[in-house]
Structure 1
Amino acid sequence: MADSAEKLVIKVTAGADAPERCSQAFTVAAVAVASGVEVSLWLTGESAWFALPGRAEEFELPHAAPLPDLIAGIQAGGRITLCTQCAARRDIEEKDVLEGVRIAGAQVFVSEVMAPGTRALVY
């Protein structure tokens, strides 16, 4: 079991445009949560669409865990954040996103990444 002081911040920029990279990010986040690691998953770029209800169900990648299951696993013990600018560029508002998804900007991201005991990955 991971030490509670450990945190993993994952920034995923890929969506349906790069399905393998996208799936890897969600898979790593879900496995980390299941392993007891504190996880913060940031949706940026094309992955921003997965903050909306029903969008994850449209994603398909052979031999990969279903995206809705991965999201549920991440939300069970981690946090999902949608980038403020990415949301604005797509006309996504707080009222539009999945329950539990927050919208936050670069200042919050930098604060999370710079916290002691934190590791960061970008996909």
Structure 2
Amino acid sequence: MSRTLVIKLTAGAEEPERANQAFTVAASAVAAGAEVSLWLTGESVWFAVPGRAEEFDLPHAAPLADLLAGVLAGGRLTVCTQCAKRRDLTEADLLPGVRIAGAPAFTEEILAGNAQAIVY
């Protein structure tokens, strides 16, 4: 049985290194063949809106848009329900393939016997 990597990102563009690190780990894990679930909370939910990842720039780091595309290609990307509501975002506002889900779904993922959770 393979393990699932569940990553929760709690920072957005205001903390670029932390945000980029979460996407880098998620995209690298997808590329390595791992099952990956990346959760965006707080200000990081904006990265799920079309065009926002392209605006992000961190010197000497892979482009966030490329990392995001890697996660979407082989993993799952979820935006926190409450965080989306506080920003008046619906699934129609987000990139194709991004879902909105809440604490019960996150809890189920991290409590699975084959899960490894990381929070950035």
Please indicate the TM-score interval, normalised by the length of the shorter structure: over 0.9
- Using the alignment, how far apart are the partners of 1:40 and 1:96 within structure 2? 20
Residues matched between the structures, number: 120
Tell me, in whole angstroms, the C-alpha distance in 2 between the residues paired with 1:82 and 1:112. 14
**Residue of structure 2 in register with 1:15 after alignment:** 12
Q: In 1, distance between residues paired with 2:76 and 2:30?
A: 10
1:12 alignment partner AA:
L
1:98 and 1:115 mapped to 2: Cα distance? 27
Among 110, 113, 119, the alignment partner of 2:107 is 110
**Number of the residue aligned with 2:51:** 54
CA distance in 2, matches of 1:46, 1:96: 15
Write the distance in 1 (CA, Å) between the matches of 2:116 and 2:64: 23
**Sequence identity (%):** 68
2:59 and 2:23 map into 1 onto residues whose CA distance is: 15
Q: Tell me the amino acid that sits aligned with residue 85 of structure 1.
A: Q
> TM-score, length-normalised on structure 1?
0.96
Tell me the CA shift for residue 67 of structure 1: 0.6
TM-aligned CA deviation for residue 5 of structure 1: 2.0
Where 1:98 maps in the other structure, the secondary structure is coil
TM-score normalized with structure 2 length: 0.98
1:101 aligns with 2:98: yes
Q: Distance in 2 between matches of 1:53 and 1:28?
A: 21
Task: List 4+ stretches of structure 1 deviating above 6 A.
Answer: none
CA offsets, 1:46-88, max 9 Å, x none? 1010110000011000000001100111111100000000000
CA RMSD of aligned residues (A): 0.7
1:30 aligned partner = 27
Secondary structure at 1:65 match in 2: coil
The gaps in structure 1 that reach 5 residues or longer are none
Q: 2:82 aligns to what?
A: 85
